């Protein structure tokens, strides 16, 4: 018996870090900052987090976690239930097929990959909204938002990397 209950608890706590960080970012992205244009341009932080963790620790952020977090966002945001869940699970699915490639290459490739995912996510959402509302959805501000999300990705990636190093070295 070389792992005590405290060590076990510690391990469980640490392994919750990816999901906890993602949930926190969902809540943070909803804070009204009273900055001009913020409400439309706020980057989709959950997408960044799901992208990062499904490459680096898919075992700690499985598709079911992505689904649950997406559903939470839908419930809080007023978006159609299941929409964000679908987007995050799809992101997980797509990224996991390319996981080895991302792990073998450097940060620039990671960033580039995220650009594809972010634009794809926005287009997917636009398509679903168009079907649900049966009207063409203006895509200008969603695409601008995707660009903002891609451009701030390194900042968030460095946050994920530091969480990764601080909590998940031995887990």
Partner 1 sequence: MARLTALKALVQRFSFLLLLMTSVALMMLGRMDPQLVEHTRARVMDAFVPIQDAISRPAATAARLIETFVDIAEVYKENKQLRQENARLLQWKQAALRLDAENASLRSLLRYRPEPKSTFISARVIAAPGGPFLRDIVVTAGRREGVHRGQAAVAGAGMVGRVVEVGEWSSRVLLITDINARVPVVLDGSRQRAVLAGDNSDQPRLIYLPPDAPVTIGDRVVTSGDGGLFPAGLPVGVVSFIGDHMVKIQPMVDMGRLEHVQLINFGLPGGLAGEAERLTSLK
Please tell me the count of residues contacting partner 1 according to CB under 8 A. 54
Please identify, using beta-carbon distances, which residue of 42 and 60 lies nearer to partner 1.
42
Per-residue x/- marks for partner 1, 124-143, CB under 8 A? -xx-xx--xx-x-xx-xxx-
Contact in structure between 69 and 23 (CB atoms under 8 Å): yes
Closest contact distance (angstroms) between CB of 107 and partner 1 is: 26
Per-residue x/- marks for partner 1, 86-125, CB under 8 A? x--xx-xx----------------------------x--x
DSSP alpha helix (H) spans, 16-98: 17-28, 38-41, 45-56, 63-77, 83-97
- Judged by CB under 8 A, the chain residues 23 through 62 that form the site for partner 1 are 27-42, 44
Phi, psi for residue 78 in degrees, rounded to 5:
90, 5
Is position 77 an interface residue for partner 1 (rule: CB under 8 A)?
Answer: yes
Write the CA distances from 26 to 54, 73, 163, integer angstroms. 17, 6, 17
Is position 168 an interface residue for partner 1 (rule: CB under 8 A)?
Answer: no
Beta-carbon neighbour count of residue 113 at 10 Å?
18
Contacts of 114 (CB under 8 A, 6+ apart): 48, 51, 150, 153
| Distance separating alpha carbons of residues 118 and 48, to the nearest angstrom | 8
Is position 22 an interface residue for partner 1 (rule: CB under 8 A)?
Answer: no
Please identify, using beta-carbon distances, which residue of 67 and 111 lies nearer to partner 1.
67
Interface residue list for partner 1 (CB under 8 A): 27-42, 44, 63-64, 67, 70-73, 75-83, 85-86, 89-90, 92-93, 122, 125-126, 128-129, 132-133, 135, 137-138, 140-142, 144-145
């Amino acid at each position: 018996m070389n792992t005590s209950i405290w060590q076990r608890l510690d391990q469980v706590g640490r392994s919750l870090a990816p999901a906890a960080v993602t949930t926190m970012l969902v809540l943070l992205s909803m804070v009204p900052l009273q900055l001009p244009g913020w409400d439309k341009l706020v980057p989709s932080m959950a997408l960044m987090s799901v992208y990062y963790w499904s490459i680096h620790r898919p075992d700690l952020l499985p598709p079911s976690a992505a689904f649950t977090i997406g559903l939470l966002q839908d419930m809080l945001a007023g978006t159609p239930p299941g929409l964000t869940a679908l987007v995050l699970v799809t992101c997980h699915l797509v990224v996991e097929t390319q996981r080895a490639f991302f792990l073998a290459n450097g940060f620039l490739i990671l960033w580039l990959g995220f650009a594809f995912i972010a634009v794809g996510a926005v287009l997917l959402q636009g398509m679903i909204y168009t079907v649900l509302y049966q009207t063409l959805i203006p895509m200008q501000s969603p695409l601008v938002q995707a660009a903002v999300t891609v451009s701030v990705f390194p900042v968030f990636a460095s946050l994920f990397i530091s969480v990764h190093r601080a909590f998940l070295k031995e887990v």
